[in-house]
A and B are shown apart, each in its own frame.
Chain A
């Protein structure tokens, strides 16, 4: 055990990293089918490691791991505390649940000679996202961000068999994602210029006397813009709808549930650990940049979603709105607000994971995903559409679901800051969600089916089981909120107390 337990933080990243080149070797000797099984087992190993890390940091103390035995401020440090252990669990958990669903879906949507490389890219994407989350080194965040982004561009482009627009979607994301990453690294460079360190904890210490430094202000602005582009905050969300719409189902499930959340985590890390609300310019950012943009995002995303006929794009726009909720929680800068953000990182992963997985099932049977083609689908595919409806309820925020929990804390947060009109806006934006969910329910259950749909059957059990696991989790964590709120409260208190 001594060979494993002290090394858990690095194994979390190193195992999927080494798995990726091994996966390529399945091209040889006719072992192509094994690639899926291999990726699945690696995902589950990652989930076990993430679980072990979370239980250790919650019960004991934070873990610090020095790569190559170089002591922290000089070498790269992996640092696990409750917030990133929680995000690690979300990433690896979503991956572990999504992969059993993936086998049939990937077989249907991607050419068979590309499967091995597809799963390799998937493993690299997983490595990148886990790496961004676990590392305690600012430049290392950029490196892993690039690993995950580059593999994401490829993954989105593999949707080309379904729709050739996947190529332009991937290219758009490549351009915007690269701009985001470049801004981020310029910001890191500026901070490095004035402090001479890249370690996040050390950076926080050395920035304290420099709050009036212009270079620090510029670095801060670059980092915030870069991460906001990556997390698709409202005016910078242009890459997201197409990327989600034309990517293969597995990729949409995985990206929607993890990748933007990881960027939210990076933003939290910089706003609260590196800078902190004690700085004037951070507070100004909250009040005059993030808060208005978050509110606009909530409405712009939801209103656009109502008018979409492609259901995948509908939920992509809804993601823009949901990211607005998360950023609203951040910008409130009080305990319930931050709790809402952290809870919503987890809860949104559960509901969007379930929704996009249900859409993946529809694509598996129908091949297309427009509202018109879903007429009467509720009768033909009762389990899929049932799951879609229940996850939709969670998205709206009906009591008893996870969506309610995060919105509840968000409203508490706005009231605590005295922004009661915003609390009304949150409710209003949730009502818009009712409209677009109803659009789908109406088409699926109330409209007459066309002749084409009458031969349709429900999808196989291997796709339904992971879908329903996610749906049940949506309700489980909506009722038993002890674990999630405890972690969220703990983290929010550290962020605001630690400065």
Chain B
């Protein structure tokens, strides 16, 4: 898509803000609307937009496939390990109260970490799904447009 000048310029301008908005939805999720799933999708949308405009090969340089394979289980691991931390600190599974000396603080910390895990996995899965489809065939040649 080298000749789509407007698309390229606008995406370059938009992508940082999409990422920033993703982070906002992620970390403001326990006070307002949002959370890990929504943030993950928004975050992935930025990468997918990048891949659509600048090509799949270019996007693979930003996040290589290996990193994706690492990130997908990483989010789930963060989630599950937070659950086990509750047990190790003397509470029940996924008990956030015991994560900090103050139960309210603990609840805050717990949901923040859990949602981070969700966000990482969702973003990585979204990009993987996109890549699974986009990477199947060779990119369309310039002459074929």
Chain A residues at the B interface, C-beta cutoff of 8 Å:
3, 7, 10, 14, 17-18, 20-22, 24-25, 27-28, 65-69
Contact of A7 among B73, B81, B87 (CB under 8 A): B87
Q: From B69, B81, B88, B94, give the contact of A3 (CB < 8 A).
A: B88
In the complex, which residues of chain A have a beta carbon less than 8 angstroms from the beta carbon of B80?
A: 14, 17-18, 21
**How far is A22 from B77 in the complex, measured between Cα atoms in Å?**
8
Interchain CB contact (< 8 A) of A66 among B74, B92, B97 = B92
A67 touches B72 (CB 8 A): no
Q: Which residues of B contact A (CB under 8 A)?
A: 66, 69-70, 72-74, 76-77, 80-81, 83-84, 86-88, 91-97
Q: Is the CB of A68 within 8 A of B86?
A: yes
**Complex-state Cα separation, A65 to B74, whole angstroms:** 27
Question: Are A25 and B73 touching (Cβ within 8 A)?
Answer: yes
**Contact A21 to B73, CB < 8 A, known contacts A10-B92, A68-B86, A68-B92:** yes
Known: A18-B80, A69-B95; 7 extra A-B contacts, CB below 8 A, are: A14-B83, A14-B93, A25-B70, A65-B92, A67-B92, A68-B93, A68-B96
Residue of B nearest to A9 (CB): B93
Chain A positions within 8 Å of B93 at CB level = 7, 10, 14, 65, 67-68
CA distance A27 to B93 in the complex (A): 28
Known: A18-B81, A18-B84, A22-B77. Contact between A69 and B91, CB under 8 A? Answer: yes
B85 to chain A, nearest CB (A): 12
Main secondary structure, interface of B, reads helix
Chain A's closest residue to B88 (CB) is: A3
Q: Is the CB of B69 within 8 A of A27?
A: yes
Do B77 and A21 have beta carbons less than 8 Å apart? yes
With A and B bound together, what is the CA distance between A22 and B70 in angstroms? 10
A78 (CB) vs chain B CBs: closest residue: B93
Chain A residue with the shortest CB-CB distance to B81: A18
Cα of A65 to Cα of B92 in the assembled complex, Å: 8
Is there an interface contact between A24 and B73, defined as CB atoms closer than 8 Å?
Answer: yes
Nearest to B107 among chain A residues (CB) is A68
Which residue of the partner chain, among B74, B83, B88, B95, contacts A21 with CB atoms under 8 Å? Answer: B74
The CA of A341 and the CA of B27, in the complex, are separated in Å by: 50
Q: Would you give the shortest CB distance from A5 to chain B, in whole angstroms?
A: 12
Partner of B70, one of A18, A28, A66: A28
Nearest Cβ on chain B to A218's Cβ, whole angstroms: 30
Q: Are A68 and B95 touching (Cβ within 8 A)? A: yes
B91 and chain A: residue at smallest CB distance? A69
- Kindly provide the distance from the CB of A284 to the nearest chain B CB, expressed in whole angstroms: 41
Residue of B nearest to A25 (CB): B73
By the criterion CB–CB under 8 Å, are B76 and A68 in contact? no
Q: Give B121's nearest chain A residue, CB to CB.
A: A21
State the CA gap A10–B93 with chains docked (Å). 7
B72 touches A68 (CB 8 A): no
Q: Tell me the complex Cα distance, A18–B72, Å.
A: 13
Q: Given A18-B80, A21-B80, A24-B69, are A68 and B88 also a contact pair (CB < 8 Å)?
A: no
Q: Once the chains bind, are B69 and A21 in contact (CB under 8 Å)?
A: no
Question: A27 CA to B76 CA in the complex, in Å?
Answer: 16
Give complex CA distance A68, B93 in Å.
5
Nearest B residue to A21, CB-CB? B73
Q: How far is the CA of A69 from the CA of B84 in the complex (A)?
A: 13
Inter-subunit contact B87/A68 (CB<8 Å): no
Task: Output the least CB separation between B123 and chain A (Å).
Answer: 15
Expressed in whole angstroms, the Cα–Cα distance for A18 and B81 within the complex equals 8
Minimum Cβ distance to chain B for residue A18 (Å):
4
In the complex, are the beta carbons of B69 and A18 less than 8 A apart?
Answer: no
Residues on B with C-beta less than 8 A from A67 are: 92-94
Query: Which A residue sits closest to B76, measured CB to CB?
Result: A21
Name the B residues within 8 Å of A66 (CB-CB): 92
Hey, which chain A residues are within 8 Å of B87, CB to CB? Answer: 3, 7, 10
The residue in chain A whose Cβ has the minimal distance to the Cβ of B75 is: A21
B72 touches A69 (CB 8 A): no
Q: Which residue of B lies closest to A17 (CB)?
A: B80
User: Chain B contacts of A10 at CB under 8 A?
Assistant: 87, 92-93
**Could you tell me the distance between the alpha carbons of A69 and B95 in the complex, rounded to whole angstroms?**
6
Q: Known interface pairs A7-B93, A24-B69. Does A14 touch B84 (Cβ–Cβ under 8 Å)?
A: yes
Residues of A within 8 A of B88 (CB): 3
Query: Once bound together, how far apart are the Cα atoms of A22 and B74, in whole Å?
Result: 9
A14 to B86, CA, bound (A): 12
Residues of B within 8 A of A14 (CB): 80, 83-84, 93
Given A14-B84, A18-B84, CB of A69 within 8 Å of CB of B92: yes
State A153–B63 Cα separation when bound (angstroms). 28
Report the bound CA distance from A24 to B77 in whole Å: 11
Assess A20 versus B83: contact at CB under 8 Å? Given A14-B93, A67-B93: no
Please give, as numbers and ranges, the residues of chain A lying within 8 Å of B86 by CB-CB distance.
68
Cα distance, A448 to B76, chains bound together (Å): 55
13 residue pairs of the A-B complex, CB under 8 angstroms, read: A10-B87, A14-B83, A14-B93, A18-B84, A20-B76, A22-B77, A24-B73, A27-B69, A65-B92, A66-B92, A68-B86, A68-B95, A69-B91
Please measure, in the bound complex, the distance between the C-alpha atom of A68 and the C-alpha atom of B81, giving whole angstroms. 13
B76 contacts across to A, CB distance below 8 A: 17-18, 20-21
Chain B residues in 8 Å Cβ range of A3: 87-88
